Chains A and B, each alone.
Chain A
Amino acid sequence: MNFQINKDILLNNLIIAQKALSNKTPNPALQGIKLDVLEDHLIITTSNSDIAIKLVIKDPSLAIKKQGSVLIPGKYFIEIIRKLDGLKVVISSVVDNMIRIEADRSDITLNMMDIDDYPELEFSEKIKSIKINVRTLKTIIRQTAFATSSIENRPILTGVNFKIDGNKLIAIATDSYRLSQKQIELNEVYEPLNIIIPGRSLDELIKVLENNNEMVELHFDNSKILFKYRSLLFQSRLLEGNYPETSKLIPTEFPIIIKFNKENLFTAIERASLLSSRDGNNAIVKLQLRQDNIVEITSNSPEIGKVLEEVYPVDEIIGAPIKIAFSSKYILDALKIFNSSEVTINFTGEIRPFIIKGDYDENMLQLILPVRTE
């Protein structure tokens, strides 16, 4: 194997490949980056137990002298390329299972790993696939994945449920204490689909997708999903099992509706959660709609102090005074992802879920469960 390539092109691809590199793995081969040098292109492959990435590089700067396949210790390879000077880098395999990296005035040799240990990976592109605009896909993920569960108590809730019904795609995520749902319209009508993609895979995926109007192809079978975008193949395992039916859990009638300026509400809740002895930003904050139609946000930690914030709702208020308590983290997380500058909170009762919606966030809802303060 022997080829030369523009250093930055290689580095940018390696940084994407790094997302699927394992640090802790029972299979040491997965700490390696696989390079396949073919007649006119280069393939970079990495994988861990959740995701696998394959990048096909065809670049004018790529000059291939000799074909071949190698497995290179991932961490060292990326760090070396990152730190190299010069525009070009030459990579070649030399005797005794070594790989040689030459650039500018550097000459580095690195022990190779045994390529026979690398698992066979199948990146299966199916005939049937779904096409989604990259920007839209990123938005769906950004607006749902944060609500997945981070604990493995109910493994299914660590994923985002993607459902297709006709030309509608619905994505749902919940950790049982809040729920995020986003619906979009697809360009075509597809067969029904119901899969659960691990939230962590999606977090990595949005890091490697760019923000433009190109299309991403989604290919899937029962156990995995493949995202195809330009020269990138990003594959994730799917979570097995049935996602709970959440549609019945989402209330449809709201006796109390209050509209807020998002920024005002956000900062008030943020300040109220400052004085909390609870771990992280998991402060309990109380929201009260007073008789005079001003909303009071309060928090109280006997050992630290208390906060009272007044927020003036925008627009008319529908419904009667209410007092409700919730974990500030859930509402702040939810408010962050709204594009609208005004949001409505729809309450159903003091110990029932409430829903946040925004005029400029069509077909998205954020549902939050309050806490009981007995």
Chain B
Amino acid sequence: MEKKYRIIFHIDLNAFFASCEMAEDESLIKIPLGIGGSSNRGVLTTANYVARKYGVSSGMNVVEAKRLCPSILLLPVNFALYQKYSQIFFNLLSEYSDIIEKGSIDEGYLDMTDMSEEVHPVEIAEEIQKRLLNEFKLPVSIGIAPNMFLAKMASDMKKPLGITVLRKRDLAEKLWPLPIEDMYGIGKKTYPNLKLIGINTIGDLVNYEDHKKLKLVLGNRVKEFIEKAKGTDNRTVDPHRYVEYKSIGTSQTYATDIYEYQTVLTKLVSLTKKVVNRVIKDESVVKTINIQVRYSDFTQINRSKTLDFYTDNFFEIYQIVEQLYDDNQSDLPIRLLGVSVSNIKPNVNNFRQINIFDVSKEVTKEEKVIKMLNNINVTYGNKIIKKGIK
């Protein structure tokens, strides 16, 4: 029989990128540390808790961070290192539950309902937290709640190294007084509009009566948000969700604004190359291509296009990137460019349906390649050369 209450953990690695560096080199623990921001125009992705005491926070630009904390040590982003620790983190979690959903590189949801029958959930949480800290120097905050949303909110309530239990009966006291921008899922574009219509706290959202007005702000997710704010979230911890939804992307803030169209294209080429290389390394093919453009006035656009086939071909992907950029050009100088791909699947049996409108240009090209390969193989022996694709 289905149990009525589930016990969900949300485990969040505190200041993850900085924590990885400190785990590698203990001498960094006591000094203020920031990650990212290779130039003065860059932005910190993370700061450790020593730096945070000076008022430094993630998302802050380098100049501001240096002003607040002149002694701050800035380290470049090192994804390989974070991947390594992320794996350690999830490996350890898998000792406790089979039902784990990756929220992102540094957070995960665990369904602990079964294990909690034998051991009190808070005891398990304490053990996980202690082990991660002692064995790997990784600090985490843990939220314990009856569903994923509340667990996520709970893990945020006490950082670093917190363990927070959020039961439904605690909502009025612990959740509803929180400012609306702290609600998970409410973005920084949305919360100012909520404040405009008088919603300042999560509690305000629960009690808001004018659903029509709310619909203007939240669109068709009104019901979902109200339900969540009331403590209801019917999602189950799904080990496959992260894999399905993940995206591969990269973006860069430039030291000086870009004015020239040609320069933008050069940058887009290099960003696309990076992304495509990761796609190939991942042995994946992708279908959706997304670009991000942030202008000097910090306004930004995100545009995407979904192909009707999967690909890992640079030229096919770049063509869309350029097209997306061209279709959305603006006169404003550009501060940041980003390219990402999603709709990713493993590159096995990637059959590609040929499109009638592309036959002449594409197929002719490809046939030449096939012919050339055949000629080489015929002349120099079988299979001496083949395509670099599985």
Contact = CB atoms under 8 A, between A and B. Distances in A.
A349 B370 CA distance: 12
Interface stretch (A108-116, A230-238, A366-374): A366-374
Given A351-B366, A351-B367, A374-B389, A369 B351 contact: no
B357 A249 contact: yes
Interface stretch (A26-34, A67-75, A173-181, A206-214): A173-181
Given A351-B363, A352-B363, A374-B387, A174 B351 contact: no
A242 interface: no
Nearest to B347: A374
B359 A249 contact: yes
B154 to A, nearest CB: 39
Interface in B333-368: 349-357, 359-360, 363, 366-367
A84 to B, nearest CB: 41
B350 A369 contact: no
Contacts of B367: 349, 351
Given A351-B367, A374-B350, A374-B389, A174 B308 contact: no
B353 A177 contact: yes
A373 to B, nearest CB: 6
Nearest to B308: A153
Given A153-B308, A351-B366, A369 B356 contact: yes
A3 B366 CA distance: 71
Nearest to B358: A176
Contact of A372 (B351, B356, B357, B360): B351
Contact of A325 (B308, B351, B363, B366): B351
Interface string A196-240: 000000000000000000000000000000000000000000000
A280 interface: no
A325 B352 CA distance: 10
Interface in B221-267: none
Residue picked from B354, B356, B360, B366, most chain A C-beta under 10 Å: B356
A353 B355 CA distance: 9
Nearest to A301: B349
Contacts of A371: 351-354
A327 B359 contact: no
Nearest to A300: B349
Q: How large is the interface on A (under 10, 10 to 19, 20 to 34, 35 or more residues)?
A: 20 to 34
Q: How big is the B interface, by class?
A: 10 to 19
A373 B354 CA distance: 10
A327 B353 contact: yes
Contacts of A241: none
A153 B305 CA distance: 11
A244 interface: yes
Question: Is chain A's binding surface mostly helix, strand, loop or mixed?
Answer: loop
Nearest to B363: A351
B350 A352 contact: no
A55 interface: no
Interface string A335-356: 0000000000000010111000
A352 B357 CA distance: 11
Contacts of A174: 356
Contacts of A367: 356
Nearest to A326: B353
Contacts of B352: 371-372, 374
A373 B352 CA distance: 7
A372 B387 CA distance: 13
Contacts of A351: 354, 363, 366-367
A284 B355 CA distance: 15
A369 B359 contact: yes
A370 B359 CA distance: 10
Given A349-B367, A351-B363, A374-B387, A249 B353 contact: no
Contact of A177 (B356, B363, B387): B356
A156 B350 CA distance: 28
Nearest to B362: A351
B354 A372 contact: yes
B384 to A, nearest CB: 19
A369 B387 contact: no
Contacts of A352: 359, 363
A18 to B, nearest CB: 30
Contacts of B355: 176-177, 369
Contacts of A153: 308
A136 B143 CA distance: 69
7 contacts: A176-B355, A284-B349, A351-B367, A353-B354, A367-B356, A370-B354, A374-B387
